[in-house]
Amino acid sequence: MRTRKSRASRDNGLFGLAAVAFGLYLCFLVLPLLLSLKSSFTDENPLRATSGFVGLDNYGEMIHDDQLHASLGFTLILAVGVTIAANAIGIAFAMMLNRTNLSYRVMRTIAFLPQVLSGVIVGFVWQTILTQQGLLNVTLQRIGLIDSPIAWLGSPNLALLSIGVVVTWILTGFTTVVYLAALQGVPVELYDSAAIDGATTWQRFTRITFPLIAPGMTISVTISLITVLKLYDVITVLTGGGPANSTRSTALYIVKLAFTDNRFGYASAVAMLVLAMSAAIALSVTSLLRRREVNF
């Protein structure tokens, strides 16, 4: 009787806590999302008290918005490039760090550091490295590899590459930890059996490691993609979207539309597009990667 009572008491407590969580979720996620959706059908301007319903006009405008297309193109190229690089490097790092002694544990912590740093801080640090008179150019000049400084952030292609490197550096900390966790779930006996059967290192990687870390890969690839699709802070600090808007991500474009052009309604419509696009990409990638997950 006492057990049943205390269980009921615990359940009610949990129900209360769940209600709080649900309330916060409604307040901070669902409500803003619905407000944004509503705004996307209006000509809302932050400086005007009233706004008018414009139907699907904002969504129609997106079809002809060259600046939006350019920002989407940049964001997608960056997302694909960074996701591939960060995951490949993450797997390599995880395999190197998949040991138990103290020095490897310290190195794991170091590898994760970029992930815990603020994007703004990372941006400023890399800016001092990549500017015209930055550490990288000075070093390359001193060792005689270049005669004059390279505009790492000053030409569209190099700026894209530089941002890609910085974001990969940040995300690699995360992917490394995910793959490390996945690797620690792979039974050692499988490697022992493979060794007895005469499998090479490459065969052990492709036939055992790679299939068995697939669940980790699903998480890592999906989160990497989503992170880059909504990237704002690092780019703002590093290039501000320049030169000539060539590195303006869609998130930067949304902020510009809302707070420079005063077009909250249109900015909300673009935000809805990014949301739908992120959800579609995440769902596709997740379902695609899940197909190759192996259970044992």
Partner 1 sequence: MIRKTMLATCVVGALALTTACTSAGSGGTGSGTSTLTYMTFETPSLNSTFWNDSIAAASKEAPGVKINRITSPSTDRDGYAKQLQASGQFPDLLQSITPSTFAGAGLLVPYDQTWVDANFLLPQGNALKGKVYIPPTNSQIIPEVFYNKELFAKAGVEPPKTWADFLTVCAKLKAAGITPMELGGGDPFAASMPLVGVLSADVLGKNPQWLQERYAGKVKFTDANVVTAVEKYRKLVTEGYFDKGALGVKYADSITQFTGGKAAMYMMGSWFLGSVPKDNADNFGAFPVPTDDGSVVIPFAVGGSMAISSKTKDLAGATKFAQAWSLAPGNLKALIESDGAFPMLKGKTLDDYKVTVSQVFKDSFAYVTDENTKVASIGWASNDDAMPPGLNDQLYAASQALFTSADVKGEMAKLDTAWDTATK
Site string for partner 1, 163-192 (x = CB under 8 A): ------------------------------
**Residue 174 beta carbon to partner 1: minimum distance, rounded to whole angstroms:** 27
Exactly one of 1, 3, 47, 198 binds partner 1 (CB under 8 A); that residue is 47
Rounded CA gap, 135 and 17, in Å? 51
Site string for partner 1, 250-279 (x = CB under 8 A): ------x--xxxx-x---------------
**Residue 232 interacting with partner 1 (CB under 8 A):** no
Tell me whether residue 64 or residue 142 sits nearer to partner 1 (CB atom).
64
Tell me whether residue 51 or residue 98 sits nearer to partner 1 (CB atom).
51
The two tokens of residue 203 are 């065969």
**Residue 245 interacting with partner 1 (CB under 8 A):** yes
**Residue 255 beta carbon to partner 1: minimum distance, rounded to whole angstroms:** 9
**Residue 148 beta carbon to partner 1: minimum distance, rounded to whole angstroms:** 7
* Contact range with partner 1 by CB under 8 A, out of 45-53, 78-86, 106-114, 284-292: 45-53
Site string for partner 1, 7-36 (x = CB under 8 A): -xx--xx--xx-xx--xx--xx--------
CA separation, residue 157 to residues 160, 162, 164, 242, 246 (Å): 5, 9, 11, 11, 8
CA separation, residue 106 to residues 46, 120, 179 (Å): 49, 25, 17
| Closest by CA position to 79, among listed 193, 235, 210, 202 | 235
Rounded CA gap, 114 and 174, in Å? 8
Segment 120-149, which members bind partner 1 (CB under 8 A)?
127, 130-133, 148-149
Exactly one of 156, 190, 191, 205 binds partner 1 (CB under 8 A); that residue is 156
Exactly one of 243, 281, 286, 289 binds partner 1 (CB under 8 A); that residue is 243
Tell me whether residue 215 or residue 243 sits nearer to partner 1 (CB atom).
243
Site residues (vs partner 1, CB under 8 A): 8-9, 12-13, 16-17, 19-20, 23-24, 27-28, 45-48, 127, 130-133, 148-156, 239-240, 242-245, 256, 259-262, 264
